[in-house]
Amino acid sequence: MIKAIFGVAIIGGGVGGLCLAQGLKQAGMNVAVYERDESPSARPQGFRIHIDPEGSKALHQCLPADLWNIFDLTGGDFAQGFTVLTEQLDELLSFRNEGGPPEPIARHRAISRIRLRQILLSGLGDSVKFGKRFVRYEETSHHRIVAHFEDGSTAEASILVGADGVNSPVRKQFLPHADPIHTTVAAIGGKIPLTDGVLALAPDRLLDGPVMVIPPDPCSLFMAFWKQPRESAEVLRRLQIEEELIDDPDYLTFGLGATADHLGLSGDLRATPGSELKKILRRSVAHWNPRLRKLAEMVDEKEMTCIPIRTSHAPEPWKPSHITLLGDAIHSMTPYRGIGANVALRDAALLCAKLTEAAKGQQPLLEAIGEYETSMRKYAFEAVASSLKAMHQTISQKKNPGFQLVKTAMRVVNRLPALKRRFAAA
């Protein structure tokens, strides 16, 4: 039974903030989300997203049963293979998790970011306030937090949660020393509509899961198929949302990563015209396998983007207060392990559980927030470090004989299971 009703103000309506709001609403707590976008469809939501077992468990914990069922049916199974190829499509390394029957909850899934956000918004209604750009907060003498917004409005709550992404204004005020740093790496690329022609050109290993292409040059190319499960259209009609469903056709994602210097980029990378990005992509794959060159030509330059990659550093532990952070607002990481959103979902589930315990009188509020922050710092910054290491491993190779040695070693490792089976049969 809830003994104390805390008012929780969440700044940011992304995956983590909305998951937290769903969980707190289920627990009977007063919650409001303040999102800077003017509407759910005000801007593109990017590529589809891989939800891992931890992310799936977090969503199951926070979503009501009907929304969990919709997510479960809408999120297709994520192919659990991963392959590393050379730029000539020679296989270096491949993994395939055959496993047993899929877990009903804690398993890998793939879902459109657009669809996931619509599911997470469903049922929250007026609890989500759009068009609210957070400016600053102030603490009152009665342990209340007042959030100030660009339009002159304010909101008061017992707890303020910064879930407002890598450029978090909440973090800038709360932990000004914890801003993420630039890695000097940038990712350029886009989507290719999934046609029979694209399927014929794409590496066969993409049917098993994502593929990473590693050439001798200090860069790497990531590719993955994203397909909607057949049941999606019927299931999504059950969503009670105000916005019309946005078309999100199947596609191949095609993203090249390297240092900005290697790509010949400078200045405001996000403002680089698509025509320039297409030239860079052409130049980068000019001597690659013809199939990859043809795929690169199919990326629409009008939709190409350039994203400078940043990463957080672990700040010294801070004293728990009525203000806390989750997701990219505190532990932004590179995309090279594809786990950032899942860590944010884990944050949301853990913080929801701790706030619920405090509301039930099972422990003091600040103690509950402190336990969340201690746990979050450990697992989240381990993920940050792992992600950064993966980035360096995929773009640091040089055009020298050592790279050929690495390729040979990877091929040997890849053949070990087959060699073991051959000796066992002899």
- What was the pLDDT predicted at 420? 42
103 belongs to a structural domain: yes
The rounded distance, in Å, linking the Cα atoms of 191 and 243 is: 24
Quick check: is 409 in a domain? Answer: no
Are 144 and 157 contacting, i.e. CB atoms less than 8 angstroms apart?
yes
**pLDDT at residue number 137:** 98
Res 144 pLDDT > 90: yes
Q: Which two tokens stand for residue 403?
A: 């790279």
Q: Identify whether 296 is part of a domain.
A: yes
Check residue 41 and give its pLDDT: 73
pLDDT in tens, 1-57: 676 678 999 999 999 999 999 999 999 999 999 999 988 877 665 667 889 999 999
Residue 41 belongs to some domain of the structure: yes
Q: What is the DSSP string of 43-111?
A: S---S-EEE-HHHHHHHHHHS-HHHHHHHHHHSEEPP-EEEEE-TT--EEEEEE---SSPPSSSS-EEE
> Measured in whole angstroms, how far is the alpha carbon of residue 317 from the centre of its chain?
25
Which segments of 237-273 does DSSP mark as H helices, in order? 260-263
Which domain range does residue 352 map to? 7-395
Residue 418 lies in a domain: no
Q: Would 97 be classed as within a structural domain?
A: yes
- Entry pTM: 0.88
Q: Does residue 125 lie within any of the structural domains?
A: yes
Instruction: Please indicate whether residue 401 or residue 278 has the higher confidence score (pLDDT).
Output: 278
- Give the pLDDT band of residue 79 (cuts 50, 70, 90): low
CATH number reported for the structural domain that contains residue 219 in this entry = 3.50.50.60
Burial of 221 (0-12, 13-18, 19+ CB in 10 A): buried
Q: What mean pLDDT is predicted for residues 386-396?
A: 90
Q: Is residue 345 within 8 Å of residue 328, measured between CB atoms? A: no
Radius of gyration, CA atoms only, the chain: 23
For all residues of the chain together, what is the average pLDDT?
87
Judge contact between 157 and 32, C-beta under 8 A. Answer: yes
Tell me the percentage of the chain whose pLDDT exceeds 90. 69
Element containing residue 322 per DSSP (H, E)? none
Question: For residue 135, is it within any domain?
Answer: yes
Count of domains observed in the chain: 1
State the Cα–Cα distance between residues 301 and 189, nearest whole angstrom: 9
pLDDT at 425 over 50: no
- Residue among 360, 349, 392 nearest 220 (CA): 392
The pLDDT tens digits for 217-253 are 999 999 998 877 655 555 555 554 444 555 567 899 9
pLDDT higher than 80, residue 77:
no
- Calculate mean pLDDT across residues 260-279: 94
Among residues 215, 217, 19, 199, which one has the least CA distance to residue 119?
A: 19
Q: What pLDDT is recorded for position 196?
A: 93
Q: Which residues contact 73 (CB under 8 A, 6 or more apart)?
A: 229, 231, 232, 235
